[in-house]
Amino acid sequence: MGRNRPSGSGPRRIAAATVALLLCAALAACRGGDTETDASGVKTDVGVTAEPCPEAVDRNKGCIYLGIISDLTEGPFRALAVPITDAQKAFWKRVNTAGGIGDYEVDVTRWIRDNKYNPQTHNQAYQEMKPNVLALAQTLGSPTTAAILADMKASSVVAAPAAWTSAYAFEDVIVESGANYCLESMNALDYAREAHGVKSVLAVHLAGDYGDDAAAGAKLGAQSLGMTFSAVKTDSGADKQAGAIQAILSGRPDLVILTMGPADAAAIVGQAAARGFTGRFIGTSPTWNPALLASAAAPALLARYEQTAPWDSWGTDTPGHQALRQALGQITPNDGYTSGWVWSYPMKAALTKAVADGDLTRAGLLAAVKSLTSVDYEGMLPAGAGNYAAGPNDGAVRVTAVYRPDRAAPTGVSQVRPLTAGPTAQAYALDGPCYEKL
């Protein structure tokens, strides 16, 4: 992998191959076959082939290989990761059916690996696929992505994260979407003060820049709003929440911000409510899964829990949501699908820009990312989202929606507040990863 020959059939391939050889003879970069130029003048290096994709729609087109590293079997986010991955397969199939990206289609099926939400496993999977993919269509998790980030930067490997840490705003190789955990927590506090009169908040969160980032946002928001704030870290696992539950019962805050896996959240909400806690809970994006409504914690969740989200849920009437539902057909709705779909738009925009710029090498794709001033999310995020050229603060998306559990809703939640940027998130200067301020 890493070779690129011109796409197309018969004479076109021969003519283009001649062009590539001539160009390579003149360019030092082509030594060893690392960089080639196709018939249309587009440079390529790693993870792009003249041969069609394994499941090609048009076998006259070449193939761009993107890798996926996700939590597919036994990690805390597997219930979300499987639909996220399935939605990304559907997204790129739609792109290919519509004509692909220039003279290429995109494959996200050849290089899919399970990280088990383990950073070491994640890195092993990355190293295995790295010589074979142009970029990553998905790298799930903040601590897992952190395990490969230095190598990604050294190798110019662009990736779409399945995570929202604010640190990604400062990494050129990451094409993040939506408000980060930090800004999401600020929006949660603005909402909770207005809706529930909250004056004290406790952040219960996993360690690392996933949980720490959300907790930092709650801390910064509480400081801005004059609320009392405390935080407690917890481990992943429904049987490991005794300390967190005791902290809630001891502190009796008005609001608990949860940043963890769904099973962890269900254990905390259910057991705290059963022991007399009457405050509110808000879970940040990955904390919710509709299967929780079938758990023993369902009554407590329905009574005391709300959910923040960086975009609207499955049933929303936008062109992007409509395309998502049409592409996936008759499946059980899950907002993991929604997230996987949304996360794919900036990679599509970057690939399209790289082809237009004539440089589909890793360096060319990274340059394309840096030049993007907006991404067409087909209405799933506000106009102007995806402005990576503007820098971390000016380019940050700051809107958050609020949902509550609802058995009648397609994904188990119904909207309480539409995508909104609260005054705290609007005013915050994103001058570094928030978790550094926890």
In sequence order, what are the beta bridge partners of 356?
Answer: none
SS3 204: strand
β-strand 400-405 against 413-420: which pairing, if any?
antiparallel
In 3D space, the residue among 115, 107, 108 whose CA is nearest the CA of residue 81 turns out to be: 115
If you search the block for the tokens 């003519």, which residue do you land on?
15
- Look at the pTM and tell me if it is higher than 0.85: yes
Amino acid, single-letter form, for residue 115: N
User: pLDDT tens track of the chain, all 438 residues?
Assistant: 333 333 333 333 333 333 443 343 333 333 334 799 988 899 999 999 999 999 999 999 999 999 999 999 998 888 889 999 999 999 999 999 999 999 999 999 999 999 999 999 999 999 999 999 999 999 999 899 999 999 999 999 999 999 999 999 999 999 999 999 999 999 999 999 999 999 999 999 998 888 999 999 999 999 999 999 999 999 989 999 999 999 999 999 999 999 998 999 999 999 999 999 999 999 998 899 888 999 999 999 999 999 999 999 999 999 999 999 999 999 999 999 999 999 999 999 999 999 999 999 999 999 999 999 999 999 999 999 999 999 999 999 999 999 999 999 989 999 999 999 999 999 999 999 999 999
Distance CA 349, CA 357 (A): 12
Q: Where is 105: in which H helix or E strand? A: strand 104-107
Query: Within 275-330, where are the H helices?
Result: 298-304, 319-328
Cα–Cα separations (whole angstroms), residue 211 to 205, 208, 257, 343, 423? 5, 6, 10, 20, 23
Taking residue 132's Cβ as centre, other Cβ atoms within 10 Å add up to 15
CB 229 within 8 A of CB 209: no
Phi, psi of 141 (to 5 degrees): 105, 145
SS3 230: strand
What integer pLDDT is reported at residue 364 of this predicted model? 98
What integer pLDDT is reported at residue 3 of this predicted model? 31
Tokens of 240: 């490991």
What integer pLDDT is reported at residue 16 of this predicted model? 39
| DSSP 8-state code for residue 383 | T
Phi, psi of 389 (to 5 degrees): -75, -15
In 3D space, the residue among 223, 214, 225, 281 whose CA is nearest the CA of residue 254 turns out to be: 281
What integer pLDDT is reported at residue 152 of this predicted model? 98
